[in-house]
Amino acid sequence: MTRRGRRPANSQTRAAVMGAARETFAARGYLGATIRQIAATAGVDPSLVLYFFGSKDQLFRTVLTSSVDGRQLLSQLFDGPADELGQRLVTRFLRLWEGDAGATASALLRTAVTEQRFGTLVREHIAPAVTTTLVERVGVDPAQASVRAALLASQLSGLVLARYLLRIEPIASATIDWVAAAIGPTIQRYLTGALPTPPATAPPVLNTG
């Protein structure tokens, strides 16, 4: 039985699949989304999704990397004088998350937390990009940049968890200005304040994952 009205395999169709994938991953996360749902939303046959993208894994990576121009985003976030960066960075970060980028970013965070191989994406791409930005744009000592980037990640990722994913009150309902005033000083210290001597490189034995 031929299906009438289905889309042909051209670049418009590819864009429709990308749009459907972005929407479905944002709503259901990586694990919850299926190729079948994405195909139905895009109005195509599931085999066409696989024809364009190969696998759900590959489709998810494509959605992520095409949604976000990482370098431009980081430049925006870290722009301006370093000595007032904390509060400004939190404000910009939350505005971004509450804009178009947020749904995709939430899907990435949910997936990175549950699927080891997407944790790698954060570790190997996002963290090093932030480290580089700290050196180039904020003037952080290169020897401390990765420590400062990791501390920054520890507070911003937890802020996203508390405000958007777990919705813990009153942080979930607070204004961006309030959150920036409360958390800004933490970010400022992590970026430019005094820190304890950098950690030893020998890893402790961790039994959790």
Binding site for a copy of itself (CB under 8 A): 29, 31-32, 97-98, 102-103, 105-106, 109-110, 112-114, 119, 122-123, 127, 146-147, 149-151, 153-176, 178-179, 181-183, 185-186, 189, 195-204, 206-209
Rounded to whole angstroms, what are the CA distances from 181 to 34, 76, 90, 184? 41, 19, 9, 5
- Minimum gap (Å) between residue 169 Cβ and a copy of itself: 7
- Minimum gap (Å) between residue 119 Cβ and a copy of itself: 5
- Minimum gap (Å) between residue 14 Cβ and a copy of itself: 26
Cβ within 8 Å of residue 72, ≥6 positions away: none
64: phi then psi, degrees, rounded to nearest 5:
-65, -50
Query: How big is the chain, counted in residues?
Result: 209
* CB of 73 or CB of 113, closer to a copy of itself: 113
* CB of 44 or CB of 94, closer to a copy of itself: 94
* CB of 73 or CB of 176, closer to a copy of itself: 176
* CB of 2 or CB of 197, closer to a copy of itself: 197
Rounded to whole angstroms, what are the CA distances from 100 to 8, 70, 133, 159, 171? 28, 14, 23, 18, 21
- Minimum gap (Å) between residue 105 Cβ and a copy of itself: 8
- Minimum gap (Å) between residue 30 Cβ and a copy of itself: 9
* CB of 140 or CB of 147, closer to a copy of itself: 147
On whether the CB atoms of residues 109 and 163 are closer than 8 A, the answer is no
Smallest CA-to-CA distance from 143 within 189, 104, 199, 184 is with 199
